[in-house]
A and B are shown apart, each in its own frame.
Chain A
């Protein structure tokens, strides 16, 4: 990725005589730490002072400590592309991102509102379909979505909760306004890194951490377990909850083991489960044991070879029938993918108004839909300025970033967008906020970041006071995904 020209244009150098911040450039993007004039923002002052005092050697030493902690704790993820996944360590940047209480209050309110509306939407489209009849959302858009599961129309869902765990990606525009980039309502990952980063950061910069009143995130696994127990079929009193993982080759395997261990539940793979008379059991050394709730980290397509992909060896034959019969609960439910379909995304603000009679607290990023004729021509003539996304891809795959693209890539997308307008959306290139980040040589440079908070929906909606901040490590890059050279930062939500 190349640096966008606009960023380099109005660069301001931070006036710091020495230390890691010397020569730090503030571009056009919103910088989290520095004001436009180069002064640190109030909530970052302590951190800035501490870090400025570090010699390059000392700074490098802290960074090495960070890397070593991650390696020894085995905080890895797997990158595909090759036949066999390669194990990598998720790079963590030692400089934390800080969110003041008043900003968090808005995020929390906005996300609660949003996920509440998404759950109402899912219940509606799988039952009465009022929103489609009232033409707030075009029915064709829902029926044409590849994650809409018509076979689950009218299927009862425990407590009417479809999305139990949601990870919503936020970015900040040049004015520092938080915008929703996308919702992840299928099997969002990253929460273990949120928790792990905190552990590592406390080891690496204990003195800095002490200076701030940072809200704790440790409660996440317990809150998640509460949600999972809440949805047990028939309100069963002491349900057996398991986490279903695709196994060691999955990119999020570390997270699966981490969460299973923290919740104190069994981590199972498809081959550990059997279905008998619509009841789910796991194979143990003492015979079969009943399972009530499955926190599944396997996509719909791989859950049950009898219903979805017959070639899947990760799933459990008969699981979907047991689920339909109400003998086992799944989190998240089957069919939630339609809610985080990027073709549906532009309508979330309308859903909020429709179901909740409220104005959205958090805005969407402006989005063009090639399906509309007027939008299509705009998209096609502005491909070099826009980001074009495939509606059902995630992980940074299937994307065109206009300003960084080649003429061939644009030509290719032009044809695809014309042929399959439902499959694409386009958004203006937003340069994402920047954050000081450690670079080789013990110095600090600005790198683009996003924010993924995690929302739990059980008896009530809980937004954990923390988040995964992903950072695009290559200079100028706007792609923060771990599979594409991204790293992460510890994220501090302040109590006051």
Chain B
């Protein structure tokens, strides 16, 4: 496979996953806002603050004509100046797909292209304000549809593995980021009177990782931070957990590398192995009583070095 093609597949997949992620976060935020009205007396700023923190995005200056919420959603959804806005992500995913149209099949291209043109459609874009759920849900569905078509119709060859690698590395690092920020922000909600609020907020964290229902199947009662960390970080078979993502990334890397006994292990594989060791064998209580922030930070930088090792090895970009 051409290195340039592998590179484009990898980034196509990452940007699509990123776009989906931002869409889901915004969707969850809109819902949370409605829920919080019934719980809080004062203004509900916390979840919008955490949103920009999670996305490591600066909050655009409000121009005075729109509410801060509108400014944030516009920036995160449509602004072409924001390279991580949903529209930018989908456009970049499509630009990469376009560069490898000979490698992906026409059904995959059509799904991504449809999503792109849908977001460009002014009528549809106006729904982001009127009916945010419908809008953000469409982005998420578009991404899922693409992934489904990809898995069902593309040969699971080297190119497919590069797509998986991009997707899982992106998902793992975004999930780590959410856990890191939210665990810190919500740590203060310990007073019994704040339990309903904490319950809502933690539910939001799960929803923004599409893990709420999975959590409910495993646990009863109010959402507990410890169980959230366990599910999102360490669960071995849940496809949104960091461990699952990185196990899948490792599988993809091994498939790309092929069997070559005697060859020294590439740096990407080693980095990934070290991170996975932590996730497989660390004790949860030890994590929670220790410095979770430092631990999650370590994992995040582990993910970045895997990504750069991959690009170095396969001469991507």
Contacts and interface: CB of A to CB of B under 8 A. Distances in A.
A267 B117 contact: no
Interface in A266-295: 266-269, 271-272, 282-286
A260 interface: yes
Interface stretch (A66-74, A204-212, A347-355, A398-406): A66-74
A72 B117 contact: yes
A257 B102 contact: yes
B248 to A, nearest CB: 19
Nearest to B95: A248
A285 B99 CA distance: 17
A261 interface: yes
Contact of B4 (A72, A260, A271): A271
A74 B113 contact: yes
Contacts of B3: 272, 283-285
Interface string B102-117: 1101100110011001
Contacts of B158: 285
B110 A267 contact: no
Interface in B102-156: 102-103, 105-106, 109-110, 113-114, 117
B6 A285 contact: yes
Contact of B110 (A72, A257, A260, A285): A72
A268 B106 CA distance: 19
A282 B105 CA distance: 22
Contacts of B315: 283, 285
Contacts of A267: 101-102
B117 A268 contact: no
A268 B110 contact: no
Contacts of A272: 2-4
A409 to B, nearest CB: 38
Contact of A73 (B1, B2, B98, B110): B110
Nearest to A76: B98
A29 B102 CA distance: 42
B314 interface: yes
B257 to A, nearest CB: 9
B256 A260 contact: no
A286 B3 CA distance: 8
B114 A72 contact: yes
Contacts of B110: 72-74
Contacts of A269: 4
Nearest to B117: A71
A266 B102 contact: yes
Contacts of B99: 247-248
Contacts of B314: 285
| Max count, chain A CB within 10 A of own CB: residue among B1, B4, B102, B314 | B102
Nearest to B258: A286
Interface in A253-268: 253-254, 256-258, 260-261, 266-268
Nearest to B315: A283
| Max count, chain A CB within 10 A of own CB: residue among B101, B109, B110 | B101
B138 to A, nearest CB: 15
A283 B3 CA distance: 6
B102 A260 contact: yes
A261 B103 CA distance: 7
Contacts of A258: 101
A258 B314 CA distance: 26
B109 A284 contact: no
| Max count, chain B CB within 10 A of own CB: residue among A256, A268, A284 | A284
A291 B4 CA distance: 16
B56 to A, nearest CB: 29
Contact of A285 (B102, B109, B256): B256
B106 A73 contact: yes
Contacts of A72: 110, 113-114, 117
Given A261-B102, A285-B158, A74 B109 contact: yes
Interface string B86-97: 000000000100
A269 B3 CA distance: 11
A346 B256 CA distance: 57
A285 B314 CA distance: 5
Nearest to B113: A74
A257 B1 contact: no
A271 B102 CA distance: 17
A272 B8 CA distance: 13
Contacts of B6: 285
Nearest to B94: A74
Interface string A241-254: 00100011000011
Interface string A149-179: 0000000000000000000000000000000
A269 B109 CA distance: 20
Given A248-B95, A248-B98, A283 B2 contact: yes
Contacts of B2: 266, 268, 272, 282-285
| Max count, chain B CB within 10 A of own CB: residue among A266, A267, A268 | A267
Contacts of B105: 261
Given A267-B101, A267-B102, A283-B315, 6 more contacts: A74-B109, A253-B98, A257-B98, A261-B102, A285-B315, A286-B1
11 contacts: A71-B113, A71-B117, A73-B109, A243-B102, A248-B98, A254-B101, A261-B101, A266-B2, A272-B4, A285-B3, A285-B256
The 7 A-B residue pairs whose C-beta atoms are closest, nearest first, are A257-B101, A260-B102, A267-B102, A261-B102, A285-B314, A257-B102, A74-B113
